[in-house]
Chain A
Amino acid sequence: QKEVEQNSGPLSVPEGAIASLNCTYSDRVSQSFFWYRQYSGKSPELIMSIYSNGDKEDGRFTAQLNKASQYVSLLIRDSQPSDSATYLCAVNKETSGSRLTFGEGTQLTVNP
């Protein structure tokens, strides 16, 4: 079992729809959780971090964390073609500092 698994893509949604990206992790001691966006040929860019159970909203993005189910998700509301990218889920097990384990990523395409 991989430490971090993401729903297999590619995912395609129409412009204006909600895109839902999912991630599960295997290690219960995981402390913090991140979503990175990576455009083709570019480096990962941090878009959201979440540390406690529940929802965290930032503009059109909402991250959801359920530690009991070992599940983290990212919702993108009012999806735009510029949101088309690969979304990487990353998990940190350290209480101080950072050692990230990444999922394979989910490729999202938003169709105009």
Chain B
Amino acid sequence: EAGVVQSPRYKIIEKKQPVAFWCNPISGHNTLYWYLQNLGQGPELLIRYENEEAVDDSQLPKDRFSAERLKGVDSTLKIQPAELGDSAVYLCASSQIGADTQYFGPGTRLTVL
């Protein structure tokens, strides 16, 4: 069974540029999560989807961050414009709906110069 797929794995951009990350969850997993992980910290939830509905986006900085999961499968997280402080690893995870075990993708390491 394929795991959670994310792309790109690495991204370097200049501040004020836009950037987008893509995630494809494990097949059959209806719940998808985006996390931000700063160096030396645990992951912090940005947004959770159940199918195509964002059920928890309270921690998403909506002035510059947006996300979508239009068909309830893969998802895109966007930052526009990026700031220096956005440099971090962006992790995607998925789980079966109603289940409490999450499986993480490899992450996208973003560097904003």
Contact = CB atoms under 8 A, between A and B. Distances in A.
Interface of A: 4, 31-32, 34, 36, 42-46, 49, 88, 90, 92, 94, 96-105
Contact of A98 (B41, B44, B102): B102
B42 A102 contact: yes
B99 A98 contact: yes
B106 A98 contact: no
A44 B40 contact: no
18 contacts: A43-B105, A44-B43, A44-B91, A44-B104, A46-B101, A46-B102, A49-B100, A88-B43, A90-B42, A97-B97, A97-B100, A98-B95, A98-B101, A98-B102, A100-B102, A101-B45, A102-B44, A104-B41
Nearest to B43: A102
Q: How large is the interface on B (under 10, 10 to 19, 20 to 34, 35 or more residues)?
A: 20 to 34
A68 to B, nearest CB: 22
A98 B50 CA distance: 11
